Each structure stands twice: as structure tokens, then as C-alpha cells.
Chains A and B, each alone.
Chain A
Amino acid sequence: MDIFTYTFMQRAFIAGIIVALMCPLIGTFIVIKRQSLLGDGLGHIAFAGVTGASLLNLYPPLGAAGLTVLAVMGIEWVRRRQSQYVDMIMALFFYAGLALAVIFSSISNIPSTSLLNFLFGSILTVTDADIYSIILAALVVAVLMKYIYSRLLVTAFDEEVAKVGGVAVNRVNMIFAILTALVVVMGMSVVGILLISALMIIPVASAHLWHVGFAKTLWIAEAYAVGAVIAGLFGAFYFDIAPGGTIVMTAIALYILTFVLSYGRR
């Protein structure tokens, strides 16, 4: 096929598929922990990291990773102390992130096209360095998820049952929050800061429609995410449209299709 003769498309598929595999792994837990807007908000903070790093002449994804991880640790720390108002605390951090991004971008001289690339993704311009960063981040996420998986599952089911049963709930939540931040930053180049949360949530939402057990839901969500990225990239290439938006719209189309097909199962 023509599409695979282009090096930039080969890179796009590699980066896209890796990110697609990581997103539902995190997204499944985000959904059951009822923090579906977490990824969205972390995107705002990642944007502040990108603009801040540009101001300091640093590699922007590094700035995004640093600030997002710090913010997510802060959110987790405050959440433990004020657990009744989790959504309010998250909103506070997210607005601060967006406000900082506006300030940083106004005093730095980042070209607006670069900013748009981070906001809406630029998978077709992914470099080798980006691929290596994505692979490294994916390895860290995969290894740490394997390490905390059992405890995270119990914690997601019921934090109090887990804590009484001897699970170090705070540590597990903190590691998971950091992994979420890493996946948000990973996804920046694929679908962009504004849409990364969509790739975490929509495939999981589609998988939920099949009304199966947890393990199957996770695998189905992985298949939806990879399918959306592959189909989205094909669509973007052949119709010459924005890949980030196409990937997300493909994921939404898959959700609608699943909703119709699974109607009788509910």
C-alpha cells in the first residue's frame, strides 16, 4: 500500500499504535474511578508545561511531563485531605494550568503553529526522538501498571475495602496518577493535548456497551483504540484531513456503531 512507503506515515502508525495501547489501559481505571475528566484537565496542565519549557528553551514534552506529574501529585495529595470535593480540587489545578499556559505563551515567542501542533496533535511530524520518548514512556507505564495492577483493581473497586485489607492505597493512587500524566504527555503528539482524553475514555465507553467482565472490557477497549488510530490515520491520509481529529471522530463513530449493535444486550 502507498501509505506505508512514506516514512512519516510509518512513524505515525508506530507512535499512534503505542499510544492507543496505553490509553485504554489507563482510561479503564479512570472511568471506574469516576475521573473521566482527569485526562482532559491534565492536558491543560501539559499545555502550561509545553509553553513553560519553550520559555526556558527546554524540550517541550519534557516540560509537559514534569509539570503534569507535579500537578497530578499535588491533586492526589490534596484529594487525600479533602476527599469530598475531588472535582473542585481538580478544576482548581486545571484552571491554574490553563492560566499559566496563557501567561507563558504571551511572554514567550513560540510560533502559533507549534502551539497548535501541541493542542491538536501533529502525528505526521513525529520525529525519531519522539518515537523513542514514546517507547520509553510506554515501557515505564506498562511495567509500573503490571506492578500495581492487582492493587489498583482492588482500590478501584473500593478504596476502603482495599485499605482495610492492607493495600497501600495512597501509594497505588499516586503511582497511577503519575502514569496518567505520562500517558497524557505521550498522546500530545498523536491527537493533541485537547483530545488525548478522548482516546482514553471513548474506547472504554464503547467497550462498556458490550456489558462484559472487567478483563474483557479492557481488551475490547484496547482493540477499539488501536482500530480508531489505524482507521483514523488511513482516513487522514487519503482524505487529507487533520489526523488527531479524524482519530477521535473514528473512535466516536465506533462508539455509535457499538451502541446500535449492542442495543439488544442491555
Chain B
Amino acid sequence: MGVKKEGQVGIDCQQLVYAYSTEPILQDITVTIPKNSFTIIVGPNGAGKTTFLRLLGGLLTPQKGCIYMGGETVESCQKAGHIHLVPQLYNRNAAQFPATVEEVVGLAFRMGAPKEGKSTKEQIHKALHLVGMAGLAKRRIGDLSGGQQQRVMLAQALLCKPTYLLLDEPTSGVDMEGSAHIFNLLKKIQEENQMTIVMVTHDIDDASKVADYTLCIDRHVCYFGDCKGFLTSHTGKKLAWHMGVL
């Protein structure tokens, strides 16, 4: 499981244990995700991927173990606005939210996104332009397709400029072309803004093309290392076959 040791530590998880009831969904998760890297979390259904992401976001608290992000606790990172979450599409109230695309993106400023020289409206339109949604700024978010809504959420994340961007299956319900576009966009955002991205996904094949690392979880860490290595590993082949990728 070869992870390059150079560079600073982004997210450091030590012996995490989490259980919703008596049986732990996550057991002894120890992993160090390098700073400014793009990591995808893969694994079978019910493996604890989303639970792990929710632990990173501070939505759940581990029963054992600890998480440090750039040396700080998750709570202090939250308070400082260093983390941003793009949740699963079906979890969101967005479809019924009576707001235009530019209003939704503008929520970033209400979460403490930095205001730069130009007006907030200009910043919003720049972000929308980057995700290819500038033409739909006045449309209601609920009128957009799943893929378009995800791009709007990415534009919001872009304005927040978080140090840590967490995404939970951002391409679920999005077609293959749309998925590839979102992954490429994420890579671009990550490189330009020096972010640490952690993304739960089922699109192993496409996501591996842009990500730096793969973390495979099945209640414990099955693999953590470079994406190419994962796809050629026994675990990777087994998971890819199981998910119908290969």
C-alpha cells in the first residue's frame, strides 16, 4: 500500500471506531491522507464509506480514536470554515428549495466564503462560469437536472475555498459523460486551490483517472495507496468486478 511519504499531512485518522448500534461499522481505521491530494473512498455497499466521510466532516463523533486535519481537531476546522461538504443528491432539500442558482451559490458567502475585490455577484458568476453553469444563473435550482445541481454545489464549494472538500457520491444519478466532467472539474479545482479532496464514489474507473489515492473501506481499511496500484491489486479487481466496472 504505497503512499508517498513526502509532503505534509492533510487528514490523520488514528484507530477510529464507530458503531451505530452494538456492531461497529468502522473498526480500527488508521489512515493518513496527504495534504493537497485527491483521495477517493471506495468499497461495497454498507462498508462504512459515508460513515467515514461523516466522521471527517464532524457530523459523527468516533467512539474511539481521533482525527486531526492539518494538526487541528475536526471541531476547530469546522469553526474556522476549513471544511465543506457536498452531500449526496437525494439527501438534499435542494429540489424543493425556492432559490435561483445564483442564490444557492451565494449561500457560500453566508457560510463565510472570502469576499474578494470584485462584487459578490461577479464572484458568483465567475464560479458558475468555471463549472459551466453561467447561462443558468437565474433558473431555480429545482428545475435543473441532477448533474447540473451537482455542478452548482461545486460552484458553491469553489467560493468557500475550503482546505478540505468532502464529497459523498457527487455523481450518483449523473450520466457517464457528466460524471467524467465533474471529476475533471474537481481535479482542476483541487490543483488550482490547493485543496485536500476526499470523495466517496462508486465510479472507480473514471474517478481513478483524476484522483491521487484510493482508500478502500470494508469496515476496516482494505487498501490505501495510489489509484493505479489499487486497480491492479487483488482487492481492487475483486471490488471492480463486484461493482461491474471491470
Contact = CB atoms under 8 A, between A and B. Distances in A.
Interface of A: 32, 34, 150-151, 153-154, 156-158, 160-167, 208, 211-215, 217
Contacts of A158: 87, 91-94
Contacts of A217: 98
Nearest to B56: A164
A157 B107 contact: yes
Contacts of A157: 93-94, 97, 99, 104, 107
Contact of A165 (B93, B99, B104, B112): B112
B57 A160 contact: yes
B80 to A, nearest CB: 7
Given A160-B91, A167-B111, 19 more contacts: A32-B98, A153-B107, A156-B97, A157-B97, A158-B91, A160-B87, A161-B86, A163-B59, A164-B58, A164-B59, A165-B83, A166-B78, A166-B80, A166-B81, A212-B140, A213-B98, A213-B99, A214-B98, A214-B99
Interface in B167-181: none
23 contacts: A32-B93, A151-B110, A153-B110, A154-B110, A157-B94, A157-B107, A158-B91, A160-B87, A161-B84, A161-B87, A163-B59, A163-B78, A164-B83, A164-B85, A165-B78, A165-B111, A165-B160, A166-B81, A213-B99, A213-B140, A214-B99, A215-B103, A217-B98
A217 B98 CA distance: 8
Given A32-B93, A166-B78, A211-B140, A161 B98 contact: no
Contact of A164 (B57, B92, B103, B104): B57
Nearest to A151: B110
Interface string B122-139: 000000000000000010
B93 A208 contact: no
Given A32-B93, A213-B99, A164 B84 contact: yes
B91 A166 contact: no
Contacts of A160: 57, 59, 85, 87, 91
Interface string B65-92: 0000000000000111101111100011
Contacts of B57: 160, 163-164
A148 to B, nearest CB: 11
Contacts of B87: 158, 160-161
Most buried by B among A153, A156, A157: A157
B12 to A, nearest CB: 18
Contact of B85 (A151, A165, A215): A165
A99 to B, nearest CB: 33
B96 interface: yes
A123 B121 CA distance: 44
B166 interface: yes
Given A157-B104, A162-B111, A208 B98 contact: yes
B100 interface: yes
Nearest to A215: B103
The 6 A-B pairs at the shortest CB distance, nearest first, are namely A150-B110, A213-B100, A164-B85, A164-B57, A214-B99, A165-B111
Contacts of B85: 160-161, 164-165
Contacts of B86: 161
A213 B136 CA distance: 13
A30 B26 CA distance: 36
Interface string B102-116: 111001001110000
Contacts of A167: 111
A202 B81 CA distance: 37
Interface string B38-58: 000000000000000000011
Contacts of A32: 93, 96-98
A157 B91 CA distance: 11
A214 B80 contact: no
A153 B108 CA distance: 11
Contacts of B166: 164
Nearest to B81: A166
Nearest to B98: A217
Contact of B111 (A34, A166, A212): A166
Contacts of A166: 78-81, 83, 111-112
Contacts of A150: 110
A162 B97 CA distance: 15
Contacts of A214: 97-100, 103
B96 to A, nearest CB: 7
A151 B110 CA distance: 7
Contacts of B92: 158
Contacts of B102: 213
